[in-house]
Chain A
């Protein structure tokens, strides 16, 4: 299945901003992080189609997954 992955802040370093990537069915958010060599412990926010999700969430076809480190402002 195809998934759009968006990365932000320092997750972009040596990776990408946005990419269409293929994964086998059953892939979780955590699997994508491992595949991208992102330490899951450093992930602060996970959004799928703009809604919050967890690491163990199983992805579906055409999901748009956004990964952020822990960030803040105001």
Chain B
């Protein structure tokens, strides 16, 4: 029987219950958002005892389904005040699937503020113990300590110093198959884990058996069709494995949607030096790996291992958003420096979008110069890493730094940093930023695909027409995919290859013995969005916050000289479904 683990940090009690029948069809985001919406008072302080931190593997986690290695974390976000779901690769989702654990719910808060805890989950049960050894340590040192104490093969979920210090830019990190780090990004979830005073969680899958399938032959057959679609589509089969997501730098530059110098231009002069093509050449020349997976069972492998000029590991999972933010938004024209920043951010456990976008605003405020990567590194290590007063201001995120220094060009929605696509020249993604339940987040409804990449049809990026509908359809589909444990990049083949999504639905049916149809899956996506929206409304985050910052309406962006001019009433029609 699927289990739900509740850990109450107020009295350190643990309860292991059978999962309610109503949760049978839920996993990943659908489950974390259901639990948060049902059990967390929307008006609670996100860092107080009433917030809950929920982890849930996806519906296909633990099976042999291709690209099913993602799991979700959810809570009320201290950065946005909204509900938050974030998903990451790594090894834990798969292990939780095999352990038949549907959710881990961490609630309450210890009264004493001088004790930290670790939580260890295995087939035998759950142990909660005071933790001293890793307190104050950053993520790589935590992984090392955990490996030494409990073995190399454990799944690990951890926070670095930023999470301990309750910073809004903090992430929750997790160990990947190679012992490096992946992040539950955005929304400051690291601070929520820190507020529960949980330093790390380990997952031990010893003694588990393969996940049972109701119809294993049908599962195998569907997985073959699914895998073939992922491999056949040019984006997931060739583009992503070769160039990673950084291939977007040149594309967005070309169409004038690459936000540059704190969102004052749509093009960046040194785009070629920070491009995916340049990254690929550099990785190959230095003996790194251009093609690499963040989790077991990934057949797309968009990740990579990036070495320094001496061939030593510098970073992995080196994403477009990070490269854009430091490279174009902060004007740092050196990929090695950006890679070093990425590695330090992984170690501290800070978000690789919120943090550099915040630096762009800090640069505009005059705290440091545009392009000064060495000073960024110093501030990361010496200020944010040591939680100095300046470090805490920076650690408050983009909106916080903007307020502190009186900057008016502050790219945030619901206080969360706007990522790597300028909404003035890619209007569909602007609709997603404004309307998603998560605060500015490109992954919530990746309209860039259809606006720019010609995947899933074509909608003119410079026109407002059709954008609300496009974003709505994508947000619904995304909410459903985020519930399965499947990586969102399966959306590229899914948008173009007819057999792809039905094969995923067939796998769900073969796993659980249900009769789900595509309509049911779309229905699940709608339900998830609506319950997240309800939570936000009850938290006081209403339609007046479904908007982009004013400067996008006031300042035209080069080269197309366009402003954000979507009618607010039209935007509000997003929720008509």
- Listed in ascending order, the chain A residues whose CB lies under 8 Å from chain B are 6, 8-10, 12, 17, 42, 44-45, 47, 49-52, 66, 68-74
Contacts and interface: CB of A to CB of B under 8 A. Distances in A.
A74 B255 contact: no
A45 B256 contact: no
B573 interface: no
Interface of B: 234-236, 238-240, 242-248, 250-251, 254-256, 272, 276-277, 302, 320, 442-443, 446, 448-449, 452-455, 458, 460-462, 488-489, 492, 559-560
A73 B240 contact: yes
A17 B253 CA distance: 15
A73 B246 contact: yes
Nearest to B244: A73
Contacts of B277: 8-9, 12
6 contacts: A44-B453, A50-B256, A51-B462, A70-B453, A73-B248, A74-B248
Contact of B254 (A6, A72, A73): A6
A70 B455 contact: yes
B402 to A, nearest CB: 26
Given A50-B559, A72-B236, A74-B442, 18 more contacts: A8-B277, A9-B276, A10-B238, A12-B277, A17-B272, A44-B454, A49-B559, A50-B560, A52-B458, A66-B254, A70-B234, A70-B235, A70-B453, A71-B235, A71-B251, A72-B235, A72-B240, A73-B247
Contacts of A17: 272
B185 to A, nearest CB: 13
A68 B251 contact: yes
> Which of A44, A70, A72 has the largest count of B CB atoms less than 10 A from its CB?
A72
A68 B256 CA distance: 15
A74 B448 contact: yes
Contact of B454 (A9, A42, A70): A70
Nearest to B492: A72
> Which 9 residue pairs across A and B have the least CB separation, nearest first?
A73-B245, A72-B235, A70-B234, A71-B239, A73-B248, A72-B492, A50-B256, A66-B254, A50-B255
Contacts, number: 91
A8 B250 contact: yes
Given A45-B453, A66-B254, A71 B247 contact: yes
B243 A9 contact: yes
B535 to A, nearest CB: 25
A39 B251 CA distance: 20
B258 to A, nearest CB: 11
A10 B234 CA distance: 12
A47 B254 contact: yes
Contacts of B247: 8-9, 71, 73
A26 B307 CA distance: 47
Contact of B239 (A49, A50, A51, A69): A69
Contacts of B236: 72
Contacts of A45: 251, 452-454
B239 A72 contact: yes
Contact of A8 (B251, B256, B446): B251
Nearest to B320: A73
Contacts of A6: 254
Contacts of B448: 74
Contact of A74 (B242, B243, B250, B488): B488
Contacts of B455: 70, 72
B234 A73 contact: no
Contacts of B446: 74
Contacts of B442: 74
A29 B333 CA distance: 32
Given A44-B454, A69-B239, A74 B254 contact: no
A58 to B, nearest CB: 20
Contacts of B560: 50-51
A71 B455 CA distance: 9
Contacts of A49: 559
A27 B247 CA distance: 29
B94 to A, nearest CB: 23
A71 B453 contact: yes
Nearest to A74: B446
Contacts of B255: 47, 50-52
Contacts of B302: 73
Nearest to A49: B559
Contact of A72 (B449, B461, B462): B449
Contacts of A52: 255, 454, 458, 460-461
